[in-house]
Amino acid sequence: MTLRFQDYRNVFFGAILILVLLAASPALSSVVSSQKGGEKFSDIWLLGPNHVAEDYPFNISVGDTYTVYLGVGNHMGGSMYYLIYVKFRNQSQSLPNATLSTPSPLPAHYDLRAFVQDEGTWERPIVFSVAQAAHAGNSSFVDSLILNGRSVWVNSTAVWDSEKGGFYYQLFFELWVYNASSDSFQFHNRFVGIWLNMTG
Amino acid sequence: MLRADRLWFLSWAILFLALSSVWLGSVLAPTDRYVAVSSISEAEQSLGQAFVAVSGAEKGGANVSRLLIKLNDGADLLSQSQLALGAGNFDEAASLANSSIALSGQVRDEAARLSVEAGYAAVDRDWLYLMVSVVAISIVLVVSAIGYRRFKQYYYGRLLKMKPKVAKA
């Protein structure tokens, strides 16, 4: 079967159209915005003293110093300004509510600020120790901590957990993000923490 | 040798000076604290404003990684300032907060400059892309027109050379 001239012509014009579009692609690229696809999110993590996800401090005592590494990753499609609130609680006090996206009502004892480029990470050591604590009967009272050299009053009491056998506290970190339009920080619904057993 | 009334006056003067210095200390300390706290508050605001400027430059196509490092330095200064405030070193706290404010100001200025440069670079790039496209489209059209014409001549030339066949009934 042989093609008629009109058929050849259609194929020819089709090829020309494709070539013209290819030739116009540099100019079109500056008009069409290149929006990045994919999910936008941030992450926050804690690593142990050896910079791996193990050997986290657990059994702690007054005067001893412990180190963890706090990290933040940005996958939001642009640079971000984060604020990390450091909070301390006992077993009965509230954590942030992930369902309602609300932070813990507990006061922040320390804060860290991080500017992170898109697809970048930020990490800082968190060195802490219990400065003052006391035990009385089946309760333990932590008066103050030293966080990265700063003395902070936490005034937290834990009762003896007979099931797990210890006085449990949690040091946790809430991730907040800067909102330029309101010139304020908003809870980013991300947090991470470690459990600590106050032994003495 | 001092007389008794002079001695009495001297002792009262010393006591007055001592009490005055205590009173002045208690009056001035909150002032120092107030200065430090307001400097820290200003440093926090400056960091936010600097970030907005950096974010704008980034959206304009500027490379802001160096500026983000500086902003993190500013944040560290602010953190140290808060540490000094907590320890009662108000002068040091104010000084560190002021350093953070100065760094934020530098970042803001640099971000504005980078933003303008990125704007010019984007215009230059757009013009270059436009010229490349115009030249490329022109070449495609000219070559296509010549090719079309040649093919048309070839096709009809070949058609005219064909011998008609008579089909048998």
Mind giving me the DSSP string for B21-43?
HHHHHHHHHHHHHHHHHHHHHHH
A115 and B48 within 8 Å at the Cβ level: the answer is no
d(CA B60, CA B50): 15
Partners of residue B134 in chain A, C-beta under 8 Å: 27
**What pLDDT is attached to residue A159?**
94
> In this structure, what token pair is assigned to residue B147?
């090719």
**What pLDDT is attached to residue B13?**
83
Partners of residue A122 in chain B, C-beta under 8 Å: 72
CA atoms in the 13 A half-sphere facing the CB of A164: 15
* ipTM of predicted complex: 0.81
Has residue A114 got a pLDDT over 70?
yes
Q: How confident is the model at residue A83 (pLDDT cuts 50, 70, 90)?
A: very high
B24: contact with A, CB 8 A cutoff: no
Q: Provide block-wise average pLDDT over 10 residues at a time, chain B (169 residues).
A: 74 81 63 89 96 94 94 94 88 95 96 91 87 92 91 86 75
**What pLDDT is attached to residue B11?**
83
d(CA A74, CA A130): 32
B155 and A5 within 8 Å at the Cβ level: the answer is yes
Cβ contacts below 8 Å, chain A against chain B, sum to: 101
Task: List, in sequence order, the alpha helices (H) in chain B.
Answer: 4-59, 65-86, 90-161
- Percentage of chain A with pLDDT > 70? 96
Partners of residue A115 in chain B, C-beta under 8 Å: 51, 54, 68, 71-72, 75
d(CA B88, CA A82): 27
d(CA B18, CA A197): 50
**Across the interface, which of A23, A79, A112 has its CB nearest the CB of B136?**
A23
The region that residue A155 occupies, defined by phi over 0 for left and psi between -120 and 50 for alpha, beta otherwise, is left
**Summary mean pLDDT of chain A:** 91
Q: How confident is the model at residue A123 (pLDDT cuts 50, 70, 90)?
A: very high
Task: Tell me which amino acid residue B140 is.
Answer: V
**Across the interface, which of A24, A25, A30 has its CB nearest the CB of B125?**
A30
**What pLDDT is attached to residue A30?**
74
Q: For A28-85, give the secondary structure using H, E and C.
A: HHHHCCCCCCCCCEEEEEEECCCCCCCCCCCEECCCCEEEEEEEEEEECCCCEEEEEE
Report pLDDT digits (tens) over A152-200: 899 999 999 999 899 999 999 999 999 999 989 999 999 999 999 998 6
Q: Are B36 and B99 in contact (CB under 8 A)?
A: no
Q: Nearest-CA neighbor of A20 among B139, B145, B128?
A: B139
**What pLDDT is attached to residue B99?**
96
Chain A interface mutation, best of B69, B72, B81, highest count of A Cβ atoms under 10 Å:
B72
Listed in order, strand segments (DSSP E) in A61-198 are 65-75, 80-90, 110-116, 121-136, 139-147, 150-159, 168-179, 184-198
What residues of chain B, 29 to 88, have a C-beta less than 8 Å from chain A? 45, 47-48, 51-52, 54-55, 58-59, 64-65, 68, 71-72, 75, 78-79, 82-83, 86-87
Place of tokens 């500026």: B67
d(CA A73, CA A38): 16
Has residue A1 got a pLDDT over 60?
no
Asked whether the whole model's pTM tops 0.80, one would answer: no
**Across the interface, which of A12, A117, A151 has its CB nearest the CB of B86?**
A151
d(CA B99, CA B79): 12
**What pLDDT is attached to residue B165?**
75
Q: What is the largest CA-CA distance in chain B?
A: 161
Residues of A with CB under 8 A from a CB of B: 5, 8-9, 12, 16, 19-20, 22-30, 78-79, 81, 111-117, 120, 122, 148-152, 178, 180, 183
B133 and A26 within 8 Å at the Cβ level: the answer is yes
Partners of residue A148 in chain B, C-beta under 8 Å: 79, 83
The alpha carbon of B86 is separated from its chain's Cα centroid by a whole number of angstroms, namely 29
Paired with A132 in beta bridges are A144
